[in-house]
Structure 1
Amino acid sequence: MLHVENLIFDYPGHRALNNVSLVLERGTITALVGPNGAGKSTLMRLCAALDQPFSGTVRLDDLDVHANPRAAHRRMGFLPDFFGLYDELTVRQGLMYRAAAQGVPRAQRRTVAEGAAERLEITDRLGQKAGTLSRGLRQRLAIAQAVLHEPTFLMLDEPASGLDPSARIGLSGVLRNLARDGMTILVSSHILAELEDYSTHILMLRQGQVVDHAPLAVMGTVTERRVEIRLDFARPVAELRKRLLAIGGIEVLSCGVDDAIVMSDPDPSTRATMLAAVLAAGLPLASFAPERRSLQDIYLARMKAATERPPLRLVGPQ
């Protein structure tokens, strides 16, 4: 789908991207994460053919986006972190104007505009001026403008910035639906818990280089050899660690007031024996399951490992 090869981009006195290569598969939602200044927005602008790389290529299917930027823009949508809307236009007018800018024939513009509004669930706002919309609805309108021409590739830079929790949940549903329709999506955000709700892959950047790029399914969100034990918080247990160790055969890695992480062989019969022993000990068990690591845990661990590597030396003209 999207192929980035050996991408290098320099700002005066600073290398923003250093030999970045990656492939985004069709229908995936990739979370683009990294510290401030890692090169996330620069990568998006290069993929959108808004900046010219020092070297390297970006291909959207068989199309070189920098050799054919107008053709590339017909196949992609891009919503930057800071976007503008025509506040005096109604939602319908704004969408129809964008349809015209995308080259949609006049006879089809109203249908295309209303279809995009329906997809983003803002049909009831078609007659309302953009300037009167809430932040969440403005975000939906901006995404509707970015996808009304049915792009195969969509980039969103901090799409949930400033949204309330319910608006973020709604945005997650919208992105999952777009991916289900076959759209490939790249989302940059610092809100890792939100990205975890809908992303299929994660792409980590640090100092302009790729730290990791993999499906979340293989990133270790489930830890096979560690079990999380949670107790009924309404029935506190004194000295939980001591009670667990007294069972025998249990290695306690960490322990709180009503929860603990223990080591366990992933074999189902071994897990069943351990579960039976915990219940027989009279502990008020609420859950017994493999430990799950959040996207934030994975991100912090990967970034710490990357920080501890020897720094890359760039050799250039003296």
Structure 2
Amino acid sequence: MVGREGDDIDASGEPERPAAGVELTAGAVARRLGVAPSTLRSWAHRYGLGPAGHETGRYRRYAERDVAELETMCRLVGQGVAPAAAAALARGQESGDGPVASAPATGGEPDGGRRSRARLVRGLVNASQRLDADAVVAGVSEHLAAEGVVATWQLVCRPALAVLDRQVSETGGCIHAQLMFAWAVSTALRPISAAADTTPDPVAGGAAVLLACTDGEQHTLALEALHAALVESRLPARMLGPSVPDVALDEACRRTRPDTAVLWAQTPRTARPGALRTAGSSARSVLAVGPGWAGLDLVDLPETVDTVDDLPAALRHVAARLGLPLELH
């Protein structure tokens, strides 16, 4: 099926990848990549990324090879690679100079990580704004593999979320970018969290950490990061997920008898002391995590209830409770 000239459309109404010998217009390619047509013109002029053999004054037509180069360019820029370097790597992929999948998202500067991490954060924010989920997943996954969950969450994900949160509060827009970033980070964390099913439980008697959001709390990303960090550090953990009613929390704690129950609350509205008491009736200790608990009067709660304000502190608390060595990556 064909729409406007050069726009190949499949049965669902979405552009298809060009088949061999089929060429796309600049508009069709720009829509696929989520960039402006002017960006394609700029990349062609500055870096030579564009249709091979294009003649001045004629419409550009992009073949499959051209689109593949541009997809690589978008992915690398989204990971924080400088445009000139990304273009060289994209062209190198097509000319056989070497793969680009291993192009680093961090490092490469004389004084190391700070500037490269800042560049990565900018790249992830930009990729989120253009809804390039693949670029965000790739960038976060690469940093996770190199630096581990704690460093990735503290130095990359939280700063990027802060930028996106600020944009939402200042403009009232960009919520789509914020939501997509959260989904992409969750996707990148999932393979690490899935290892919990195959990691031997190092705690005698099956004692574990039980993680849950309080009733009505839908923000799970920070709790997912904590779960992945626990698994990565070989600390046994079970995840219940968002908005766990007190009755379900009580049943889960009674069945698993966790050493530590971790309850996440993003806002004061969902930070209910009653949930801490419910978990404390069966868990040996309860850890209240998240900004929702800040400023709440918890003095009347049992001594087994404690609060922390970040992921490393939560890990240290759990490891100390279990009497296990903590291996932060």
* Fold-level similarity (TM above 0.5): no
TM-score, normalization by structure 2: 0.26
TM-score, normalization by structure 1: 0.27
Q: Is the helix fraction higher in 1 or 2?
A: 2
Q: Is the strand fraction higher in 1 or 2?
A: 1
